[in-house]
Structure 1
Amino acid sequence: MKNVGEAREAPTGTPQEEFATGERSTRNRVARSILDHGPSTVAELAGRLGLTQAAVRRHLDALVADGVVEAREQRVYGTRTRGRPAKAFALTDCGRDAFDQSYDQLAADALRWIQERCGGDEALMAFVRARLAEQAAAYRAAIEAADPDQRTEALAKALSVDGYAATARSAPVGEQLCQHHCPVAHVAEQFPQLCEVETEVFSELLGTHVQRLATIAHGDGVCTTFIPKAPGPSKVSGTTHHASATTHNASASKAGRNPA
């Protein structure tokens, strides 16, 4: 499991690093206990983990603040006793994602089944294109609403909504679209077609040839795509002429794409 939450304040005289490590370890135990046993009260967690209820509440407060767990009213079956029922704490979707999941393997198995049983690479590419076409609808709307010189930035913001943590920055004779996270990186390691089709989609959306320079799936730290600057007006013999930009679809066979 990934570490959930961060340490708040260290007691006087306790080294910060040692304290933080201990805090994260205990906090992970609290979250793991909820995962293993379902929604749990403070008293139940304290009993299972051998902690005081005050300590459990402190860790739960941190987990709630980090969006890992949420408090729910505990369901009461049968005759209800006096007083308000104790709250039960359950993992959120974010909290569940912090633990190891088998979604990546399931997705890879599904793509492999399509490839082997439904028509090879052609069927696989058709599926990937159809999937990305649905995502691209929202990206296209964001790009069309932006000024021409802000389209890469608009695409980056739209990608970030889908979890790609994307940014746009200036580069010599163009821009770079950087995706600092890839939700499908582990699957793309086995199926680089995901990266290939994504590059095609970027080219189509931005209306120009784009060049994939690096991918997380290939082991790079960031997925980086180069978008050349649109040709501006050029003067010939005192007359202003506008260069025409030709749109090229990027593909896996194009030079400059870093194969995943």
Structure 2
Amino acid sequence: MYSSSASAADSPQGSTDAPAGEDRTRDRVLSMVLEDGPISAAELGKALRLTPAAVRRHLDALTDSGLVEVKSMARQASGAGRPARRYVVSQGGQARLGDDYLHIAVDALRDLQKYGGSEAVDEFVARRFEDLETRYARELEGIDSLEDRATKLAELLSADGFVGYTREAGLIGFNNLNQPINPALQAAMAAVQLCQGHCPVLGLAKEFPQFCEHETGMFSRLLGVDVRRLSTLATGGHVCTTHIPVGRFYTANAREKRVRVKSTRQEKLR
């Protein structure tokens, strides 16, 4: 659980006068915006069982303290009408959630780049992710399903402070005309998105893109499939999103199995 209290106290508009119960509820609102943003006030109220007035009060306080900001997004159903107001954790909020000593690491990497060049920085980041990959790989052993591996990876990322979660992608949300979708196409296009709502090394990743590059490579090796980065917090996104082509993975495996079976039969006929 991320706390808004310390950050509010550091903000010019922030206040620590809210009762303890209010602080706990506000922290729940902040955590949900962090994990599920962009999210609407109505969705927050429904999930947390809060009245519209209570949701607005907490969102206003988080916005005033600079932790949360409003994103205006086009409505998906028809695109008509006023843009929907949805809430995300701001870049300033990301910077204030758990990176108190990050400036020391940034200064160290700047010196490393100054005296050793970009290759030295790349080698340092690569070693960091090698250690992380070894630890994660042990936890993923014995998990065959790509979806289950992605879910477990999200759990491991959350334990390390990245607020990881997965969501379905593929053709979902693209069939606005309510036309039937070919089942084979739908299966082939099935995908999962691995999301990270927070980055404990955001300040580093903003200045040194090697962090995002090596992390993406690590995801690909751990999952056993080519993945694609759709957005990152370091480049201004509200969440880090990695596209995992589940359908392509199973289609390729099925094709390989058919080829192997065919080859075995041909050998028997010789």
CA RMSD across the alignment: 3.4
**Which residues of structure 2 form unaligned runs of 5+?**
1-5, 10-15, 23-52, 66-95, 171-188, 262-270
* Matched position secondary structure for 1:231: helix
Quote the residue 1:88 is aligned against.
none
The equivalent residue for 1:231 is 250
Whole-Å Cα distance in 2 between the matches of residues 107 and 137 of structure 1?
Answer: 23
Distance 1:130 1:117, change over 3 A: same
Give 5+ residue unaligned stretches, structure 1.
Answer: 26-96, 244-260
Are the counterparts in 2 of residues 138 and 158 from structure 1 also a CA contact under 8 Å?
no
Aligned-pair CA distance for 1:196: 0.7
Name the CA distance, whole Å, in 1 between partners of 2:98 and 2:152.
32
State the aligned residue count.
Answer: 160
Equivalent position SS for 2:8: coil
TM superposition shift of 1:183: 0.5
Q: Give TM-score, length-normalised by structure 1.
A: 0.53
Q: Report deviation, 1:212.
A: 0.6
Counterpart residue identity of residue 185, structure 1: L
What letter corresponds to residue 7 of structure 1 in structure 2? P
1:21-58 superposed Cα distances (whole Å, 9 cap, x missing partner):
7xxx9xxxxxxxxxxxxxxxxxxxxxxxxxxxxxxxxx
| SS in structure 2 of the partner of residue 221 of structure 1 | coil
Task: Give the alignment partner of residue 110 of structure 2, picking from 105, 109, 112.
Answer: 112
Which one of 16, 19, 22 corresponds to residue 7 of structure 1?
A: 19
Are residues 1:147 and 2:152 paired? no
**Contact 1:175/1:226 (CA < 8 Å) preserved in 2?**
yes
- Structure 1 position 207 matched with structure 2 position 224: yes
Corresponding position: 1:176 with 2:193: yes
Deviations 1:71-119 (A, max 9, x none): xxxxxxxxxxxxxxxxxxxxxxxxxx87983x1211111111111112x
CA distance change for structure 1 residues 105 and 180 in 2, over 3 Å: closer, same or farther?
Answer: same
Distance 1:179 1:231 in 2: 25
**In structure 1, C-alpha distance between the alignment counterparts of 2:99 and 2:113, rounded to whole Å:** 26
Q: 1:204 Cα deviation (Å)?
A: 1.4
Q: Whose helix proportion is higher, 1 or 2?
A: 2
1:217 corresponds to 2:229: no
Residue 206 to residue 98, structure 1, CA distance change in 2 (3 Å) = closer
For the structure 1 residues 153 and 104, does the alpha-carbon distance in structure 2 shift closer, same or farther, using more than 3 Å as the test?
same
Match of 2:161 in 1: 163
Deviation of 1:8 (Å): 4.3
Match of 1:195 among 194, 198, 212: 212
Q: Determine helix, strand or coil for the equivalent of 2:158.
A: helix
SS at match of 2:7: coil
Following TM superposition, by how much is the alpha carbon of 1:146 offset from its aligned partner in structure 2, in angstroms? Answer: 2.1
Q: Give SS of 1:182's match.
A: coil
State the percentage of identical aligned residues: 38
Larger RCO, structure (CA 8 Å, separation 6 or more): 2
Q: Per-residue deviation at 1:206?
A: 1.2
Alpha carbons 2:196, 2:241 under 8 Å: kept: yes
Do the aligned partners of residues 205 and 184 (structure 1) sit closer, same or farther apart at CA in structure 2, a change above 3 Å counting?
Answer: same
